[in-house]
Amino acid sequence: MDVRDATTDDVDEIRRVATESLAASYGHAIDDSVIDAAVDEWYSTERVTASLDGDGEVFVLAEDEGSVVGFAQSEIAEGRETVGYLDWLHVVPAHRGAGIGSQLLARLEQKLVDGGADRLEGRVLADNEEGVAFYEEQGFTEVGERSVEIHGESFTERVFSTFLDREESDPTGLVERDADGTTVHVAYDESVRGSDAPFFAVYLDGDRTERYGWMCGAEESLDVAIDTMERLECNVCGNRRKPVRWDAAYL
């Protein structure tokens, strides 16, 4: 899994991911014609290219085996405080539940902190129960509701907010965590596949020279067992690293 900045070469893939994600999240509440119109408006080649070429937006995506499987975009607005507005976070249906949304959010938050943002605000249509649960699981606070118009139809959005703590952000792009009193650094851009969710590499230093272990993407637990064959298993949820071909123990 690779989490990186989006480029203008990714426009077609971004449109595809947006279409699949919107259909999965809102197909039960919004007509297909409305979803198609929204994608044409929000993710036109011209609009996405302008977003990627501009300085006021952050646009990151997740890629698995050469295919884009999710992306997140946020605009930065300056006023009494500098706020990142999370416009969308999309993950294709087949890759949901694997921690990709968390990886995208972590990368996005790091870039917003680097850009001077104090707070991140996200919005999700009230009909998207999965999206609402994601914000709650990520520690956001619901701060209100608002109405939004999509292709001539009015919908209710729930608004969530969280403060960005610069002291917890690492300039190397890692995310700091506490491990029984020890500060460790989780590399969301360095992962291996697991049976239920990916495992992320964890280091004791920001230069990635001293390894601590792994973090389970399903439970965000650092209690991960590893043997001499580098098989991984989360002691909390049982998530396991999928066997590789040379691992004879699985034949």
Confidence at residue 25, expressed as pLDDT on a 0 to 100 scale: 82
Secondary structure of 166-223 in the HEC alphabet? HHHECCCCCEEEEECCEEEEEEEEEEECECCCCEEEEECCCCCCCEEEEEECCCCECC
Is a pLDDT exceeding 80 seen at residue 219?
no
Maximum mean pLDDT: which of 26-35, 91-100, 184-193, 238-247: 91-100
Flag the least confident range among 79-88, 120-129, 235-244. Answer: 235-244
Q: What is the mean pLDDT of residues 234-249?
A: 64
pLDDT of res. 210: 93
Report the pLDDT value the prediction gives residue 173, as an integer from 0 to 100: 55
The C-alpha atoms of residue 55 and residue 106 are separated, in whole angstroms, by 20
Rounded percentage of the chain residues whose pLDDT exceeds 70: 88
Q: Is 10 helix (H, G, I), strand (E, B) or coil?
A: helix
Most confident by average pLDDT, 52-56, 91-95, 228-232, 236-240:
91-95
The whole-number pLDDT of residue 212 equals 94
Range from 79-83, 147-151, 165-169, 210-214 carrying the lowest mean pLDDT: 165-169
Instruction: Provide mean pLDDT across the span 86-94.
Output: 90
- Residue 1 binned pLDDT confidence (cut-offs 50, 70, 90): confident
Query: Quick one: pLDDT at residue 242?
Result: 55
Tens-digit pLDDT profile for residues 129-155: 888 888 888 888 888 888 877 767 788
Query: Does the pLDDT value for residue 211 go beyond 50?
Result: yes
